[in-house]
């Protein structure tokens, strides 16, 4: 059965791709905005909300060379990353995905809570059946939130194949903004509001030359994970940069040296990666067999540089008034976490994962896999080419990516741009492994983040949650096999009848948890095997509060008991609230993280590591949230095949 749209039934026929580059692109030299069909009263102003926004996205499998190396990858409306989806808080959103690829696909809208529309969350085997080749699917939901988000594949490792794109929900006019502490005048406040309104995405992604299905086959054949990429891209552009042996050796981090020493290795590979032998003999469970000869040399050990154009973001500096630019920095990675900065410019961070915070002035931001940071940038008084830089801090690989922010002066009399000079006028604040270049550099500190307006929900929650689940994280044999709640989530469940369609209220197993509506839930992520890297943990359906972290084994039955013994390890007053949270590194022993959430959005939701190879390897659990108030799935979604 084909789904139908109340707005436009014809959307469900597999139509030719809409070329977003020629359909009203809204960003100069950035990411094009997709064609939008609005259905609303003409009396609505652009940011009132209440429109029906219809986006047509066509997936194709084509040759593309974002770093100068051509490979088959996923394009969305013939571009990479996919087009910017723009909407207003309160809009009803219809995203019609046409699958013109030879593979199954689904699309997930990262951070969108899908309140009351769980069937549009995009997880195969959990909330929907996959979109088969030649078929289309309607994702329909209401924009109840605001801020920066992104969309991506949730079918196997297709995120690594290029199925990513930015999404922004403009906050309604009446929503309070956190800019008062930054503005010294009404004019400055208006400048900040105007900059936020025209914020541009900076999509950070890692890119590998091996298609995801081939990479997975290599991991199965070799018995090890292959966390080694070829390039870092910003807005879909980058190049392969091969460091000299001397540079690699000079920039080995303490964490990398520890792992190299454990495996009797002395250096990173030419691609800046930990050698395959370290993955096999140090990271994998003891005694796990491996076959390193099954790994092609260019996966770890061969680096071939490329020359390719970098992305450019243009900013026109006013000749008569202070100029601000706004960017949504999106960590659309398959593996990496790293440091972000713009040479010569401070960053005023005003929203994290789509929610306002009290503004924080920083020089550099650690961007994890899945995270979003909205920043206001006071534009430098000098025109020029300022480098936007990202440096991996992931122990598995040292790698960098760059783009250009070109500042043009505006002629005071003619309002014409004056061409910018080509050289970079200032020194970087971070080096190529994300370390500060001087003692004055200020890094974003998540622990100091304060919600705007203040969030009292968790502060007034009970010390002991209604349910506490301890989820043990370990390598489950081969280094590509990862367990959450002690058990690897079976990849074949992607092809099962979705759990949303047939919940199991009495079911008990290590890959499915169950809660009741209104309950407070604590999830203890216990890292058991070590050395273990940090894991970006993403929960679908709602945000989580990070209330505690620590080293060792978490021995307590609940948080109330833990607070009696180690209160210094917890923040119950102003904890960070995010949809993706990073576990601590377990370098020389176990470590733990406790998150809390309230069940307010019943349905089948996924909790998983956002590193693609870890998700493929089973690091996930399904949660039947609010089993006593389970949603009724519309027949057109239940019957879709």
Residues with Cβ < 8 Å from 76, sequence gap 6 or more? 57, 58, 59, 82, 83, 163, 165
For 72-92, write each residue's pLDDT tens digit: 999 999 999 999 999 999 999
Mean pLDDT of 226-233: 98
Q: Residue 322 — very low, low, confident or very high, per pLDDT cuts 50/70/90?
A: confident
Burial class (CB in 10 A: 0-12, 13-18, 19+), 552: exposed
Q: pLDDT value at position 17?
A: 35
Q: Which two tokens stand for residue 204?
A: 């950070």
Q: pLDDT value at position 5?
A: 38
* Closest of 618, 627, 615 to residue 212, by C-alpha: 615
Q: pLDDT value at position 508?
A: 66
More confident residue, 281 or 20: 281
Q: pLDDT value at position 574?
A: 97
Rounded CA separation 454/315 (Å): 33
Q: pLDDT value at position 45?
A: 55
* Closest of 388, 362, 357, 353 to residue 536, by C-alpha: 353
Q: pLDDT value at position 47?
A: 59
Rounded CA separation 637/129 (Å): 9
Q: pLDDT value at position 287?
A: 84
Q: pLDDT value at position 432?
A: 98
More confident residue, 438 or 382: 438
Mean pLDDT of 607-621: 95
Whether 33 has a pLDDT exceeding 80, the answer reads no
Q: Residue 486 — very low, low, confident or very high, per pLDDT cuts 50/70/90?
A: confident
Rounded CA separation 392/413 (Å): 44
Q: Which two tokens stand for residue 344?
A: 């010569």
Whether 596 has a pLDDT exceeding 90, the answer reads yes
Q: Which domains does the chain have, with CATH numbers?
A: 9-175 (2.60.40.420), 212-300 (no CATH), 312-448 (2.60.40.420), 467-638 (2.60.40.420)
Whether 27 has a pLDDT exceeding 60, the answer reads no
Q: Which two tokens stand for residue 11?
A: 């959307």
Rounded CA separation 502/372 (Å): 33
For 96-126, write each residue's pLDDT tens digit: 999 999 999 999 999 999 999 999 999 999 9
Q: Residue 479 — very low, low, confident or very high, per pLDDT cuts 50/70/90?
A: confident
Model-level pTM? 0.93
Q: pLDDT value at position 411?
A: 63
Q: Residue 44 — very low, low, confident or very high, per pLDDT cuts 50/70/90?
A: low
Mean pLDDT of 447-460: 95
Mean pLDDT of 509-523: 95
Q: pLDDT value at position 331?
A: 99
* Closest of 326, 388, 46, 347 to residue 199, by C-alpha: 326
> How many angstroms separate the most distant Cα atoms in the chain?
74
The chain-wide mean pLDDT, for the chain, equals 91
Contact in structure between 581 and 546 (CB atoms under 8 Å): yes
């Amino acid at each position: 059965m084909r789904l139908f749209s109340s707005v436009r039934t014809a959307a469900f026929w597999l139509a030719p791709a809409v070329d977003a580059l020629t359909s009203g692109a809204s960003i100069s030299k950035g990411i094009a905005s997709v064609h939008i069909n609005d259905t609303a009263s003409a009396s609505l102003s652009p940011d009132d909300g209440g429109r029906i926004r219809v986006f047509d996205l066509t997936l194709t499998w084509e040759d593309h060379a974002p770093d100068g190396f051509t490979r088959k990858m996923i394009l969305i409306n013939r571009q990479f990353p996919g087009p910017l989806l723009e909407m207003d808080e309160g809009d009803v959103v219809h995203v019609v995905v046409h699958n013109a690829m030879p593979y199954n696909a689904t699309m997930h809208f990262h951070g969108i809570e899908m309140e009351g529309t769980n069937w549009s969350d995009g997880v195969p085997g959990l909330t929907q059946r996959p979109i088969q080749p030649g078929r289309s699917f309607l994702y329909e939901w209401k924009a109840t939130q605001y801020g920066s988000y992104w969309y991506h594949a949730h079918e196997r490792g297709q995120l690594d194949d290029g199925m990513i794109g930015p999404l922004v929900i403009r906050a309604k006019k009446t929503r309070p903004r956190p800019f008062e502490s930054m503005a010294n005048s009404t004019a400055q406040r208006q400048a900040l509001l105007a900059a936020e309104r025209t914020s541009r995405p900076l999509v950070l992604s890692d890119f590998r030359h091996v298609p995801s299905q081939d990479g997975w086959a290599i991991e199965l054949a070799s018995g090890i994970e292959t966390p080694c990429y070829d390039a870092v891209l910003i807005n879909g552009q980058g190049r392969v940069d091969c460091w000299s042996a001397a540079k690699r050796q000079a920039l080995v981090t303490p964490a990398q040296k520890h792992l190299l020493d454990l495996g009797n290795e002395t250096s990173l590979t030419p691609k800046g990666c930990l050698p395959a032998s370290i993955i096999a003999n140090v990271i994998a469970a003891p005694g796990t067999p491996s076959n390193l000869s099954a790994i092609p040399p260019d996966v770890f050990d061969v680096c071939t540089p490329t020359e390719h154009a970098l992305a450019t973001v243009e900013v026109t500096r006013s000749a008569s008034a202070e100029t601000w630019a706004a960017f949504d920095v999106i960590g659309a990675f398959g593996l990496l976490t790293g440091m972000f900065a713009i040479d010569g410019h401070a960053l005023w961070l005003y929203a994290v994962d789509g929610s306002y915070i009290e503004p924080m002035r920083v020089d550099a931001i650690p961007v994890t896999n899945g995270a979003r940071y909205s920043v206001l940038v006071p534009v430098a008084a000098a025109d020029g080419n300022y480098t936007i830089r990202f440096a991996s801090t992931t122990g598995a690989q040292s790698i960098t990516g760059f783009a250009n922010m070109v500042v043009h002066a505006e002629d005071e009399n003619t309002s014409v741009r004056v061409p910018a000079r080509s050289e970079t006028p200032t020194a970087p604040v971070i080096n190529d492994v994300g370390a500060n270049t001087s003692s004055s550099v200020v890094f974003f500190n998540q622990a100091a983040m304060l919600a705007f307006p203040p969030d009292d929900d968790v502060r007034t929650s009970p010390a002991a949650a209604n349910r506490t689940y301890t989820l043990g994280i370990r390598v489950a044999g081969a280094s590509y096999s990862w367990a959450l709640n002690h058990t690897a989530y079976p990849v074949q469940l992607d092809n099962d009848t979705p759990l949303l369609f047939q919940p199991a209220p009495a079911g008990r197993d290590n890959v499915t948890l169950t809660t009741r509506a209104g309950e407070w839930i604590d999830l203890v992520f216990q890292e058991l095997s070590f050395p273990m890297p940090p894991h970006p943990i993403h929960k679908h359906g709602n945000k989580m509060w990070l209330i505690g972290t620590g080293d060792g084994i978490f021995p307590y039955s609940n948080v109330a008991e833990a607070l009696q013994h180690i209160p210094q390890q917890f923040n119950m007053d102003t904890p960070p609230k995010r949809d993706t949270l990073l576990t601590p590194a377990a370098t020389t022993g176990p470590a733990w993280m406790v998150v809390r959430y309230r069940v307010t959005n019943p349905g089948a939701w996924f909790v998983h590591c956002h590193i693609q190879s870890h998700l493929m390897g089973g690091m996930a659990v399904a949660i039947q949230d609010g089993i006593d108030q389970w949603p009724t799935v519309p027949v057109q979604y239940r019957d879709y095949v």
